Structure 1
């Protein structure tokens, strides 16, 4: 049995989440909840259950939203994900075409709407990732670049041309030293640039 505890601190709020996963043969059973589940007494808010066969499919049951179904088809070089939420009456299609270890193209589309994204990802020498993306609904480009340093640390910068939002992120995923993510975001399009919005997120993994 594996469990993880995630805490997040924003400049305007705090949040926490917990996940427990159990293997049952080829299947993985998972239950997760957020602080909304226990604050002000036990409730169903933030509670989710899932059954997963890694690399093949996931079936999610989101209790407050009634139901959400996710199916993944993992047949390289094409990976497809189908998500249907009855509570929100929304269906999402995700697809990723992997050309090689350094190049892949992905697309996301919400059926029945003009919302969609196309993204190209290129990994240079295994340490630097370039990700330009195009938002069909906003008719705009977004850009991101990430670089891995010292093995476990990743520095990432992103820019959204539609909102002129600049984001910076430092993350670490280490079995020895733990996982964390520190983010800062600022809107360069405002006449008076405000203080960056800061957030910090830490995850602890346990084997039980």
Structure 2
């Protein structure tokens, strides 16, 4: 089965852009071709961000980024630690030489702890996620070890499948608000607003993004 999606983005301070993704299901694996920022509507169309990927969900992803001629390998696995599930992801980029290790310890249906480490840049983050009300409300404090700073996020699922997210980054003093909706029939959309409290002129930045899915 062929699947395709089109994504359009528009920001208040920049031009509109479009992206496209085409996916082929081949048994246990998926073949995908993606064009990010495939066209900018105030200039000559650009198709410079082509990437190809081979994916087995929950097992591995191999990405090839054509402009950079870069291969990225990602492997996923789960193990049991003290009767708790530990999900681990290993990511390595051949050209950029990025080496990332992510681990998520699922304590129960409402609590999980995630640790991220980038061995190239030294970025290390520790995030705790708590879900309340059957997953309708989620709180996520995150500590960045390298910056010695905290980030906070809260998600609220409302009637109809809409999700509202509020976030704050203490290192950059950026306050964010996001409203998103995802539907298997009508695609998805996202409206975002951010405000940098450190700037003298506190002008919010607005953006909108919409995705349409097709099956052939």
Q: Do both share a fold (TM > 0.5)?
A: yes
- Cα distance in 2 for residues equivalent to 1:34 and 1:189: 31
Contact 2:97 2:120 in 1 (8 A): no
TM-superposed CA distance for 1:41, in Å, is: 6.3
Structure 1 residues 177 and 113: alpha-carbon distance in aligned structure 2, compared to 1, 3 A threshold: closer
Deviations 1:66-100 (A, max 9, x none): 22323232325122222222222221112211112
Contact 2:20 2:38 in 1 (8 A): no
Counterpart of 2:82 in structure 1 is none
Counterpart of 1:6 in structure 2 is 7
- TM-score, structure 1 as length reference: 0.91
- Cα distance in 2 for residues equivalent to 1:62 and 1:22: 18
TM-superposed CA distance for 1:49, in Å, is: 0.6
> Out of 189, 194, 198, which is 2:198 matched to?
189
Deviations 1:20-69 (A, max 9, x none): 110112111111012347974675x2111111111111111111222232
Structure 2: runs of 5 or more not aligned: 80-84
Q: Say if 2:195 is the partner of 1:198.
A: no
- Cα distance in 1 for residues equivalent to 2:56 and 2:197: 43
Counterpart of 2:49 in structure 1 is 46
Task: Report the more deviating stretch, 86-95 or 17-26.
Answer: 86-95
5 Å-filtered alignment, 1:22-41, equals 22-36=24-38, 40=44
Structure 1: runs of 5 or more not aligned: none
Q: Say if 2:63 is the partner of 1:60.
A: yes
- Cα distance in 1 for residues equivalent to 2:130 and 2:180: 20
TM-superposed CA distance for 1:9, in Å, is: 0.6
Deviations 1:175-199 (A, max 9, x none): 2443100000001122332x20001
Deviations 1:146-174 (A, max 9, x none): 10001410011000111111000000012
User: How many residues end up aligned between the 2 structures?
Assistant: 206
Q: Say if 2:147 is the partner of 1:100.
A: no
Contact 1:72 1:79 in 2 (8 A): no
- Cα distance in 1 for residues equivalent to 2:60 and 2:185: 30
- Cα distance in 1 for residues equivalent to 2:192 and 2:45: 31
Structure 1 residues 31 and 90: alpha-carbon distance in aligned structure 2, compared to 1, 3 A threshold: same
Q: What RMSD over aligned residues (CA atoms) do the two structures have, in Å? A: 1.9
5 Å-filtered alignment, 1:61-80, equals 61-75=64-78, 77-80=85-88
